[in-house]
Chain A
Amino acid sequence: MSQIDQWIASTAIDGLLHWVDQVAASEKFNTSIATIEGHALQQGILPARYQRNRNLLTCEDQYRLFCSHVVVVGCGGLGGHVIEGLVRLGVGQLTIIDPDIFEEHNLNRQTFCTMSTLGKSKAKITAERAVDINPAVTVTPHVLAFASDNGTMLLSGADIVVDALDNIIVRLELSAVCRELSVPLVHGAIGGWSGQVTSQLPNDNSLETLYAGKEHHTGIENKMGNPSFTPALVAALQVTETTKILLNLGEALSSRVLTIDLLDMEFVEIQI
């Protein structure tokens, strides 16, 4: 048992490592908060911030999340909520991608768009806010647009990818790169009161089934816009799917798409 492990074991209370002690350990051993988190989880000690996860995720699950790398493509309506969810959950490594800046019309729904972040890079601000929520998480922002020619580089090392894009053409490019790399892709899309979610596991071609031939068609978001609640809901479902697939829990929403009509509160599952 290393000195770090011994110190953590002697400091933990009821199997929990409290934040003040996590910081103290990081200072004492001159290492990162993330390193201390890894040492704690490996010996079955839970950083206290995750104590409300304890009855649904085991410490091994929490360690697996800590060791996981999720790429979120898009830091807008869906992406902001997805990233916040993953960071609070304790996913250890995130790569986040968005070329845009926060603008006034994002204020109605994008969780990290505030008066003070207007005009600033979505990817960079989201990375800053994410680390403020959970300093044990390593977030790498890329201020650029995902495309076929940079996709393999951007998704390198990903255990799973979350589609938080806002257009169909790039979604199909993302799906193609995920298939090439055999990485699962959790898809979400929104428009007005509607949304849809599906998980494309390696060897599935769900996104092609849903979108091929519609690359230049206009989704209802262009007519209807997007309110605050639709992205929050669809993002929550995407975080749920990501968690389940990373931890191999429950039944993934694969080979089927969940369509959501919030105006009439209808959730319909369709086999694809």
Chain B
Amino acid sequence: MISVTVKLFAQFRNDRFKVEQRDYSEPMTTRKILEELEIPADELGVLMINGRHAELDQPLTEGDSVGIFPLVGGG
């Protein structure tokens, strides 16, 4: 098991949470977190792992901090 901090932003927080410490069995990725939280992957904007932009399928490890932001494209 690994413990991961999951932070949601903007409307992803609605009916979910702002930040939670969650335990997962490996191998774990952010794509699986999105599935678990029922966030469609095509609504994802920036994905931050430990302060850096990252890809959905990057394997998560113990202590990682994941920030999930919605896609913004308006002007």
A13 on the interface (CB 8 Å rule)?
Answer: no
Taking Cβ atoms with an 8 Å cutoff, the residues of B that contact A are 9-11, 13, 18, 42-43, 45-46, 48, 51-53, 67, 69-75
Assess the B43–A220 pair: CB atoms within 8 A: yes
Assess the A270–B71 pair: CB atoms within 8 A: no
Those of A186-207 within 8 Å (CB) of chain B: 188-196
Those of A12-49 within 8 Å (CB) of chain B: none
Q: Interface centre among B46, B51, B67, B75, by most A CB within 10 Å?
A: B75
Query: Can you name 8 extra interface pairs (CB under 8 A) apart from A191-B72, A222-B74?
Result: A188-B75, A192-B72, A210-B53, A214-B71, A218-B71, A221-B74, A226-B74, A270-B67
Decide if the interface of chain B is mainly helix, strand, loop or mixed: mixed
A94 on the interface (CB 8 Å rule)?
Answer: no
Instruction: Please indicate the chain B residues that have their CB under 8 angstroms from the CB of A189 in the complex.
Output: 72-75
Those of A221-270 within 8 Å (CB) of chain B: 221-224, 226, 231, 257, 259, 261, 263-264, 266, 268, 270
A contact residues, total (Cβ < 8 Å): 45
Instruction: Please indicate the chain A residues that have their CB under 8 angstroms from the CB of B70 in the complex.
Output: 191, 194, 219-220
Assess the A209–B53 pair: CB atoms within 8 A: yes
Instruction: Please indicate the chain A residues that have their CB under 8 angstroms from the CB of B46 in the complex.
Output: 196, 210, 257, 259, 270
Assess the A190–B9 pair: CB atoms within 8 A: no
A-B pairs under 8 A by CB, number: 104
Assess the A270–B51 pair: CB atoms within 8 A: yes
Instruction: Please indicate the chain B residues that have their CB under 8 angstroms from the CB of A168 in the complex.
Output: 73
A84 on the interface (CB 8 Å rule)?
Answer: no
Contact with B along A95-119 (1 / 0, CB 8 A): 0000000000000000000000000
Instruction: Please indicate the chain B residues that have their CB under 8 angstroms from the CB of A194 in the complex.
Output: 9-10, 69-70, 72
Decide if the interface of chain A is mainly helix, strand, loop or mixed: mixed
The stretch that binds B, out of A85-93, A148-156, A159-167, is A159-167
Instruction: Please indicate the chain A residues that have their CB under 8 angstroms from the CB of B18 in the complex.
Output: 264
Assess the B67–A190 pair: CB atoms within 8 A: no
The stretch that binds B, out of A3-11, A74-82, A137-145, is A74-82
Assess the A259–B11 pair: CB atoms within 8 A: no
Taking Cβ atoms with an 8 Å cutoff, the residues of A that contact B are 74, 76-79, 163-168, 171, 188-196, 209-211, 214, 217-224, 226, 231, 257, 259, 261, 263-264, 266, 268, 270-272
Rounded to whole angstroms, the CA-CA distance of A189 and B74 in the bound complex is 5
A208 to chain B, nearest CB (A): 11
Instruction: Please indicate the chain A residues that have their CB under 8 angstroms from the CB of B75 in the complex.
Output: 74, 76-79, 163-166, 188-190, 231
Assess the B72–A190 pair: CB atoms within 8 A: yes
Q: Interface centre among B9, B43, B48, B74, by most A CB within 10 Å?
A: B74
Instruction: Please indicate the chain A residues that have their CB under 8 angstroms from the CB of B9 in the complex.
Output: 194, 259, 261, 266, 268
Determine which of A76, A209, A220 lies in contact with B11 in the assembled complex, contact meaning CB atoms within 8 Å.
A220
> What are the 8 closest A-B residue pairs judged by CB atoms, nearest first?
A221-B74, A219-B73, A191-B72, A166-B75, A272-B53, A217-B42, A271-B52, A78-B75
B18 to chain A, nearest CB (A): 7
B65 to chain A, nearest CB (A): 11
Assess the B74–A190 pair: CB atoms within 8 A: yes
Rounded to whole angstroms, the CA-CA distance of A257 and B52 in the bound complex is 10
